[in-house]
Amino acid sequence: MATKGRTASPAPREASAPVVEAKKATLDSKKNVDSLRKQTRPQGEFYGNIGTCFWTFFIPVAIYYFYGIMVMHQGRLVVPDGSFWHDLIYSLPDGLSIQPCWGPTTVSLTWVFLQALGEIILPGKLKEGVALKGGRRLMYPMNGLLCFALSNVAVVLLSYFGYIKPYYVFLNMGALLTESVITSYVMALWLYIDYGLFWRRHVGDEEFEEDHGVFNAGDFWNDTFMGVVRNPRLFAGILKTPFDLKRFWNARPGLTGWVILNMSYLSAMYYNCSLPSAYGIGESRFFAEHAAKSATIEKLFAGADPSTFCASEGSFSNIGLAGAFITFAHWYYILDYNVVEPAYLTTTDIRHDLFGFMLTYGDWGFLSRFYPISFMGFLAQQGSSSSGFITSNYLYACIGVALYVNGMMLFRITNLEKHLFRDHMNNGGSGDKYRSPWSTRIFFGDKKPEYIKTSEGSLLLTSGFWGLARHFNYVGDLSMCIGWAVACYSPDHPFPFMPIGYCIYFWLMDCHRCWRDEVRCSKKYGADWERYRQAVPYAIVPGIW
């Protein structure tokens, strides 16, 4: 998300700073071209071909399952037998079914096109990214905040004037899910072919690096999943600043789409949308005998008119604290990302990850579809006036708000502490003259910073919050999603397996990201990293791990 464990870092320099130019190798012969390449990409992170092949298909199927229990069982866990998948494909109306539809597909791809157009034409300062392996720095337009604002306004106006129903997502999420799967597979395969098999076409590209392209065709699944190019850039001969496809895919259509889909689910609550359900009010069984329910589901949706699922008039009384809180929290989360957009250029997603299915689907099918389903989709399917769930669980909603606020403050404070320290030192300051932000002084007093200066020149902070754990900023991220899940709980209604499923995924993702970062830093800093580990022995949770 950062979304996705994003870490605020010092902002890249302005475009007016001199760009570091790499020495260009002579490409007059095949030998010289081949000498540019070296297999330095991480290998075996997901157990190679077997693991990546498994995840390439398992993840979309798992999200289909969560969608199925949401739309057919109000979020209750059921056994995904043959009748479950039959219902998901054939028993639901167009749009709700996971069969592809031209309407939702057109809407979704139009959204991507307009987001890309916004990145290209909207005004914004240019920033340099971090240096590539060859020393070159790529330029990026920083117009995300303006694009985010215009996107929100445009969607609201389109709904207000009747060009699209505000609860459109509620009635079309199945088809939108399938579009994201198809788009992600096609994009990943194209990247593998164009930038992988035909890597020689891109040797002269400014983003070309030593580890780009296919080294062994037998690693097809690994390369398709992990990626064979880090920063594919398009329209280099047309645009003054080439269009960076990975940065765009990470930052624009999925992140903004996440909050737009949330708003659509909120509108479904406002209009008291509800789908036919085989369960009575207050049904609390965690597992149901799906075989006994499948025929009922088919009958419930047989001949159903989706236009009747939502009321013609809405009411704010249908929107509870939980729905309003989660919609705002996610919206603010993405707003915050766009406010500090330049810092994103220094994160793992941009600096290290290659662009393959892990990101083509992760940023589109997973982030922009699964995230809204997990929380707002789950709440919307509970119904409002009929069950009272989303308008009456005030206690748990308030606990969730408290956990979220605490997590957000911790996330921001820890990242601000590192950012201010590095900014001070990188601009010629000294440790003796550095003054910690007030938020750090409250907990640790006004002490001089402690840090390790590596032989490579980097500074590793070992005091304040960063003296508690090497990745302590993750604690805030991990706390926030727990708050969202708690806000979805009510003792008399379906247990929030879907929100908790998101939390489990997010925790595993951050733990895996932590492991990858540890491996990378150990290789980069060598003995200095071991000194750092001794000074700060815990990775994320002080005293535990």
Phi, psi for 368 (deg, rounded to 5): -80, -10
Confidence label for 507 from pLDDT (cuts 50, 70 and 90): confident
- Identify the H or E element spanning 16: none
Instruction: Give the pair of three-digit tokens for residue 404.
Output: 């979220």
What are 316-359's pLDDT values in tens digits? Answer: 888 888 889 999 999 998 998 898 888 788 777 787 889 999 99
Closest CA to 303 of 56, 52, 37, 94: 94
User: Can you tell me the distance from the alpha carbon of 363 to that of 351, in angstroms, rounded to the nearest whole number?
Assistant: 16
What are 480-492's pLDDT values in tens digits? Answer: 889 999 998 887 7
| Contact yes or no for 391/320 (Cβ under 8 A) | yes
Q: What is the pLDDT of residue 438?
A: 63
Closest CA to 376 of 292, 257, 241: 257
User: Can you tell me the distance from the alpha carbon of 252 to that of 120, in angstroms, rounded to the nearest whole number?
Assistant: 12
Residue 91 gets which letter from DSSP? I
- pLDDT beyond 60 at 299: yes
Highest mean pLDDT among 17-21, 109-113, 537-541: 109-113
Confidence label for 381 from pLDDT (cuts 50, 70 and 90): confident
- pLDDT beyond 70 at 15: no
User: Can you tell me the distance from the alpha carbon of 31 to that of 44, in angstroms, rounded to the nearest whole number?
Assistant: 29
| Contact yes or no for 432/413 (Cβ under 8 A) | no
pLDDT-wise least confident of 169-183, 293-307, 328-342, 455-469: 293-307
Instruction: Give the pair of three-digit tokens for residue 399.
Output: 């606990």
Instruction: Give the pair of three-digit tokens for residue 239.
Output: 């645009």
User: Can you tell me the distance from the alpha carbon of 295 to that of 298, in angstroms, rounded to the nearest whole number?
Assistant: 5
Task: For residues 4-29, give the mean pLDDT.
Answer: 43
With 0-12 / 13-18 / 19 or more C-beta atoms within 10 angstroms meaning exposed / middle / buried, residue 56 is: buried
With 0-12 / 13-18 / 19 or more C-beta atoms within 10 angstroms meaning exposed / middle / buried, residue 252 is: buried
Confidence label for 390 from pLDDT (cuts 50, 70 and 90): low
| Contact yes or no for 195/202 (Cβ under 8 A) | yes
Task: For residues 165-182, give the mean pLDDT.
Answer: 96
User: In angstroms, what CA-CA distances link 96 with 155, 188, 211, 369, 483?
Assistant: 21, 26, 42, 14, 29
User: Can you tell me the distance from the alpha carbon of 196 to that of 213, in angstroms, rounded to the nearest whole number?
Assistant: 4
Confidence label for 364 from pLDDT (cuts 50, 70 and 90): very high
Largest separation between any pair of C-alpha atoms in the chain: 75
Strand segments (E) across 134-212: 137-142
- Write down the pTM of the prediction: 0.85
Confidence label for 515 from pLDDT (cuts 50, 70 and 90): confident
